[in-house]
């Protein structure tokens, strides 16, 4: 970490952000905390024990835990209401993407356009030197021979050392300006158990609080139900790869490529094998299903390319690894940016790639670039 700076800590009410803030204080930084209330996900107003977690986030317990963590650490605390902005930007985009036949990643969208954007704007106005979060990732500012920051090579984003908890995938869409202004004190932690142990040693009540894995604004996990409630019923046909009708659906927008469960098909395939969604045509309101092998692809095109590695040109094909899911397996590939798109050719076939998901390019543990999948072949 940079020594002795004024830091704005994003507190979520969980153990990771609490330990990250405590580490910054211990390192000598001047730390203030803020909790972003992004929506009112209040299935119940009853407060829970700090070792428990309500589904999703944005609930009274998380806000209370964030305040309690800040008090225990001994830092100023504020809570900001950004529910309207979150709804207008993240949830509206989520619905629009599904309605267009894409499967978006709302966490990446939120980081890009709300969480970090809000925190950075506020931090700069108030004279902070950095924004701190509990993400498992690392940033490195390369140095020139004289020990100063090397302007020719911008701040690099690297995986956290705890590979199974690494969150560089969801941070890869941040701008260089945002990365240079970020601090991730948990990047060197070996695993989550070590973080919990440190929290317990510091006397933080959230040391054993469970993680949340749901989309925060869909706490019950019923994405199809959430979409139907907001986009309405749009009955249509489910067809197989030959075009034969095999069922009906309540809205093509609610399906994602690679989906196997919840298809509601009245009869199995002729060969008895499972069927998967292999295409979603929202314009015609048709969902196509077929065998797993029809999902296999080796070529990916991604829009909105963001290339962090200015020291590694990408106009010609270069070897790299790519990741297409938050905790997916890195895959060897050749990548380049051409015609305004990030293009990927995998060394091996991969299945079930949904349009709208992110593809992140790595060289070993360093993040090179990011794009949003728009086409596969």
Catalytic residue positions?
A: 110, 216
Coil, helix or strand for 120? helix
DSSP 215-264: -TT-TT--HHHHHHHHH----EEEE-TTS-EEEEES-GGG--TT--TT--
| Number of neighbours of residue 52 by Cβ within 10 angstroms | 11
> Using CA atoms in the order 239, 245, 250, 253, what is the torsion angle rounded to 10 degrees?
20
Query: For 307, phi and psi rounded to 5 degrees?
Result: -110, 110
Q: E strand or H helix at 270, and its extent?
A: none
For residues 248 and 237, the answer to whether their CB atoms sit within 8 Å is: yes
The structure tokens 């996990």 sit at 221
> Using CA atoms in the order 73, 79, 80, 86, what is the torsion angle rounded to 10 degrees?
80
């Amino acid at each position: 970490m940079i020594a002795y700076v004024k830091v704005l800590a994003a507190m979520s009410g969980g153990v990771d952000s609490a330990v990250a803030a405590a580490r910054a204080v211990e390192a000598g930084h001047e730390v203030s905390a803020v909790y972003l209330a992004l929506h009112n996900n209040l299935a119940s107003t009853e407060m829970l024990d700090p070792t428990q977690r309500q589904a999703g986030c944005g609930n009274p317990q998380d806000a209370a835990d964030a305040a309690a963590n800040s008090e225990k650490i001994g830092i100023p605390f504020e809570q900001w209401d950004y529910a309207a902005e979150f709804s207008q930007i993240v949830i509206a985009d989520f619905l629009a993407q599904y309605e267009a036949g894409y499967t978006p990643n709302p966490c990446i969208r939120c980081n890009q356009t709300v969480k970090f954007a809000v925190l950075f704007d506020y931090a700069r106005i108030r004279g902070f030197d950095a924004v701190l979060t509990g993400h498992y990732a690392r940033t490195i500012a390369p140095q020139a021979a004289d020990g100063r920051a090397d302007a020719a090579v911008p701040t690099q984003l690297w995986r956290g050392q705890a590979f199974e908890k690494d969150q560089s995938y969801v941070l890869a869409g941040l701008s260089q300006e945002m990365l240079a202004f970020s601090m991730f004190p948990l990047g060197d932690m070996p695993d989550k158990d070590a973080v919990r142990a440190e929290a317990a040693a510091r006397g933080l009540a959230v040391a054993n609080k469970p993680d949340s894995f749901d989309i925060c604004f869909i706490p019950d996990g019923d994405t199809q139900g959430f979409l139907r409630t907001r986009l309405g019923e749009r009955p249509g046909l489910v067809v197989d790869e030959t075009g034969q009708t095999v069922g009906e659906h309540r809205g093509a927008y609610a399906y994602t490529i690679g989906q196997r469960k919840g298809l509601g098909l009245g009869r199995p395939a002729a060969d008895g094998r499972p069927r998967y969604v292999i295409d979603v045509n929202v314009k015609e309101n048709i969902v196509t299903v077929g065998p797993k092998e029809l999902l296999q692809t080796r070529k990916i095109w991604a829009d909105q390319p963001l290339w962090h590695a200015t020291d590694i040109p990408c106009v010609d094909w270069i070897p790299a690894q790519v990741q297409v899911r938050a905790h997916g397996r890195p895959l060897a590939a050749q990548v380049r940016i051409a015609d305004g798109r990030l293009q990927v050719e995998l060394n091996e076939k991969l299945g079930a790639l949904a349009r709208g998901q992110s593809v992140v390019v790595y060289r070993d543990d360093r993040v090179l670039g990011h794009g949003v999948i728009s086409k596969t072949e």
